[in-house]
Structure 1
């Protein structure tokens, strides 16, 4: 679908959507309890629906309600195919979890997921007793368990998502497991995983996120788990407030371990006017200046930061561009191409992006079936001369289905 975003000032209060990252981990943990469990304030974005479909296919009974989901153990054999949709976290986290069972299961997906690398999964799972095959390092991936405690080496230079899956599955194995991690990127996401595991009663020892010891078996404790508000989605709203008016975002944990909480640091670096209160952050329009920011551990912030940089005086440098190639799109190329279409002065280098602030003209862009590209272009449109028409705008449903409605609710047309 096409979506036109007009230039406008904004003013309003928006509740952050439920965190996709937290929701997917919570769905896996609820399944692993093997008992009745509840998730409160869940996300029903496309990736969350994929995760719920997987735990259902693994035999869990789900009672879906508007503000909570009940998980109950089922007696069904797992289905042979687990559909991950377009979720990178699902297809990298669930192989280890599925391999806890002896049945052969194939995890597959569609769209850009087919081109996202899975080669970091195969050897560690084989070292832990799993028969594992991929399609030359890509989906589909087939596993036959059972997963066994042991020692494995994990290359986390591309993604930490597979490590999350191992850390969630190995506590249920008999014996102690040792995981050696090389070149870990996105450390905050592993901190987030460990924090969730603690809440479900699972303890994992580690030394500087490089050496993990997992003692087993440890039972997952059933509980009522409340999903955090999403800092990734909130980042777009806060940038909108900083460049085009005033926005308050509620339903946020100020002490969250989510990587994209770092948007607060980026906004402070450019001189944004921020107000922090309990569970609420407000951003107010003011004079903004070019800044430098290292996004290696939070690459999902690149899209909102590019929109922010366009509204800053002077040059902005965002480091970590090497993390952008294997997202829903080749995100660096997508940002370069589409922002140039609307008048941005932007350059892409192997390790960074550089943006010189300038007034954007507006025009037509393509979202590349990438939710964060679509949202970044929508935010940039607010400060453009003519507005922006986004082709493929529906892809925001992957993480933030109500994004356009929330943005529209703040618009003050003049």
Structure 2
């Protein structure tokens, strides 16, 4: 699908934030790891969460769903023995389930997206699993990956946090079920600590005890624990909503997004503060974020590691700010569905933006008058790139044509529908 994004002077209206993808995938997983039946209210429907649904079903979970909720009868630490699992293009789902697969004799994760997930490295998690006595066959750390487990062992485990926090989260989900106690030490740096906080929050809700150091670099995990079947409510999603808020910020607008909790542990909640720092007229009360955009933005410097999945949307807003903005500490963006630094900067330059990249930075020289546009650009199969490029297109002089725009469904299937309901001038062309 191509998205033809045309200049749009005004957005107006109210939408519900979609349910959080990150929380949904985590609740589905702990529901599967519980002995008994759990209920998840308002689960997200996206390619990532659907991949987790599909895979835990394959592993033996029994799932029933209606318009409001999902019930999951879990398999505990005894997943069904399956030969293959297909996670699609969902990196977090792959990484979380690689550890769960260690309870199976042999599982192969197939490579159905060779140009996206198939290029992403998983060496750090592979190394940690091998420390636990699990045999892993792989192609230079990439898919296809075969896990030969059955009897993973606890003990002292080290895992690098340099590339992704998902490797650590994967171990935190699995190690409480081992016979032995475990100590997990994170080597080097730990990216996206806020997202690790979400993992610990969800695990604790299921009755699991983990002792974490204040800096989240060391963990003591008692073995022989059980996930308790519980009821969970999925909160609204800040990463997807960030793009809607960015679009409202760069146009004359009056847009409200509902179901965005003020005390959420989602790191991307920081976009509220980022946009305020850029001069956006924004209020956040009673779980409603309201933006009244005036197109007058100012540049700033922001540590992107605090809001990883919203960095691109904030970069898109800063294209139209007065001055030079810098988003730093974002190197982990290079290891997502695409290289979200080089690939995104390349497409923005095609559209007429003045942007630079460093190894762990994106630097934006704002153009309050707008950018030229008038070109076709490549989304690189990446949902976050698609959403951010759409924001840029709305304030461009001649619009933008975004190819492969259907990949937005990975996290936010209703993204274009929501923008259209607010008055965005977008034409969707099926191919």
Q: Which runs of 5+ in 1 are unaligned?
A: none
Equivalent of 1:291 in 300, 315, 329: 300
Structure 1 Cα separation of the partners of residues 173 and 349 of structure 2: 42
Shift of 1:395: 0.6
**Counterpart in the other structure of 1:282:** 290
1:149 and 1:253 mapped to 2: Cα distance?
37
Q: Which residue of 2 aligns with 1:169?
A: 174
Residue of structure 1 equivalent to 2:145: 141
For residue 406 of structure 1, the aligned residue among 405, 418, 421 is: 418
Give 1:136 shift: 1.7
State the shift of 1:133 in Å: 2.4
Distance 1:62 1:153 in 2: 34
Q: Is the 8 A contact 2:161 2:186 kept in 1?
A: yes
* Cα distance in structure 2, aligned partners of 1:390 and 1:333: 17
Matched, 1:44 2:45: yes
Q: How many residues align?
A: 412
Q: Is 1:81 the counterpart of 2:84 in the alignment?
A: yes
SS in 1 for 2:222: strand
Structure 2 gap ranges (5+): 426-431
Residue 154 of structure 1: how far off its partner (Å): 0.5
Q: Take 1:316 and 1:197, find their aligned partners in 2: how far apart are those partners?
A: 37
**Stretch of structure 1 that moved more, 321-330 or 195-204:** 321-330
CA distance in 1 between partners of 2:357 and 2:167 (Å): 28
Look up the SS of the partner of 1:33 in the other structure.
Answer: coil
Q: Secondary structure at the match of 1:98?
A: helix
TM, length-normalised to structure 1:
0.96
Q: Which residue is equivalent to 1:66? A: 67
Which residue number in structure 1 is paired with residue 201 of structure 2?
195
SS of the aligned residue for 2:33 comes to helix
Please list, as runs of the form range in 1=range in 2, the aligned pairs for 1:14-413 lying within 5 A after superposition. Answer: 14-73=15-74, 77-99=80-102, 101-111=103-113, 112-143=116-147, 144-182=149-187, 183-207=189-213, 208-244=215-251, 245-286=253-294, 287-358=296-367, 359-363=370-374, 364-411=376-423
Matched position secondary structure for 1:325: helix
1-side partners of 2:62 and 2:160: how far apart? 34
Q: Which moved further from structure 2: 65-74 or 403-412?
A: 65-74
The alpha carbon displacement at 1:297 in A equals 3.6
Deviations 1:180-225 (A, max 9, x none): 0121111001100000011111121011211100012121111121
Alignment partners' CA distance in 2, 1:5 and 1:278? 32
Query: Residues 35 and 226 of structure 2 are in contact (CA less than 8 Å); yes or no, is this contact kept in structure 1?
Result: no
User: Which residue of structure 1 lines up, in the alignment, with residue 428 of structure 2?
Assistant: none
Deviations 1:381-410 (A, max 9, x none): 221112221111101000000000001100
The separation in 2 between residues aligned to 1:119 and 1:263, in whole angstroms, is: 31
Provide the rounded CA distance (Å) in 1 between the counterparts of 2:202 and 2:79.
Answer: 27
Contact 2:81 2:104 in 1 (8 A): no
Q: 2: CA distance between counterparts of 1:51 and 1:369?
A: 19
Instruction: Indicate if the aligned counterparts of 1:93 and 1:163 stay in contact, CA closer than 8 A.
Output: no
Distance 1:116 1:266 in 2: 29
Supply the distance in 2 between the matched residues of 1:90 and 1:109 (Cα, whole angstroms): 13
Asked if the contact 1:30–1:222 (Cα under 8 Å) also holds between the matched residues in 2, the reply is yes
Structure 1, residues 21-79: CA drift from partner, whole Å, max 9, x if none?
A: 11111111000002111111011200111111110111111113232111124798332
Map Cα deviations across residues 336-382 of structure 1 (whole Å, 9 max, x no partner). Answer: 11111211111112221111111112222111111111111111122
Q: Does the C-alpha gap of structure 1 residues 93 and 73 become closer, same or farther in structure 2, counting only changes over 3 Å?
A: closer
Distance 1:240 1:141 in 2: 39
Cα deviation for residue 158 of structure 1 reads 0.1
C-alpha distance in 1, partners of 2:194/2:355? 28
The answer to which of 378-387 and 114-123 deviates more is: 378-387
Q: Distance in 2 between matches of 1:125 and 1:185?
A: 20
